[in-house]
């Protein structure tokens, strides 16, 4: 049975309101930008990150879309590469390894640059999620085994350099 005309109009109005709210939230996030990466560009920002006495070049993912995509689509990751998921503010977050093609180390870092949680050798497609456990702003995803090789441990400080724009 068809809905009355006034109900269809009400349903349409609710749908338009929801779309408007979603568009406003997405636009506000994009305008807010990231302290780490600066203004948004078509090419993701690359930021030097130093930990364990070694500097890597990390692709910055600082929007819902880029964080959701993460390392998906990458075939591998070298010891000199990483991905810095910037959640823009400290809170509790989680990552997963669904559809990943290679293992990684994942480091949860607070807004002062202190490593709070380390997950070593996360296997692809494990079906598990890996939470920050404590409020953190960043998750640095790097080559599996990096932390053990360079003696990176919880409580260490991470140094963020100035971002540059280039493709990986």
Work out the pLDDT band at 7, boundaries 50, 70, 90: low
pTM of the predicted structure, to 2 decimals: 0.73
Structure tokens at 69: 């995509």
Give 8-41 pLDDT, tens digit per residue: 544 544 334 334 444 444 434 443 444 444 444 4
- The burial class, CB within 10 Å (0-12 / 13-18 / 19+), for 141 is buried
Check residue 72 and give its pLDDT.
87
Give 38-77 pLDDT, tens digit per residue: 444 457 899 999 999 999 999 999 999 999 889 988 999 9
Per-residue pLDDT at 122 exceeds 50 = yes
Token pair 């779309």: residue:
19
CA distance 33 to 100: 27
CA distance 160 to 114: 11
- For residue 156, which of 120, 107, 88 has the smallest C-alpha distance? 107
């Amino acid at each position: 049975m068809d809905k009355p005309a006034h109900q269809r109009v009400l349903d349409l109005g609710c749908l338009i309101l929801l779309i408007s709210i979603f568009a406003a939230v997405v636009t506000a996030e994009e305008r807010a930008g990231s302290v780490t990466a600066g203004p948004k560009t078509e090419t993701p920002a690359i930021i030097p990150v130093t930990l364990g006495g070694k500097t890597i070049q990390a692709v910055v993912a600082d929007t819902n879309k880029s964080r959701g995509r993460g390392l998906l689509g990458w075939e591998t990751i070298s010891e000199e590469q990483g991905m810095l998921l910037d959640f823009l503010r400290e809170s509790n977050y989680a990552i997963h390894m669904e559809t990943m093609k290679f293992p990684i180390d994942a480091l949860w870092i607070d807004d002062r640059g202190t490593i709070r949680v380390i997950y070593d050798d996360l296997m692809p497609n494990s079906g598990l999620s890996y939470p920050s456990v404590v409020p953190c702003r960043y998750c640095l995803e790097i080559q599996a085994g990096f932390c053990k090789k360079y003696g990176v441990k919880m409580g260490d400080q991470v140094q963020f350099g100035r971002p540059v724009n280039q493709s990986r």
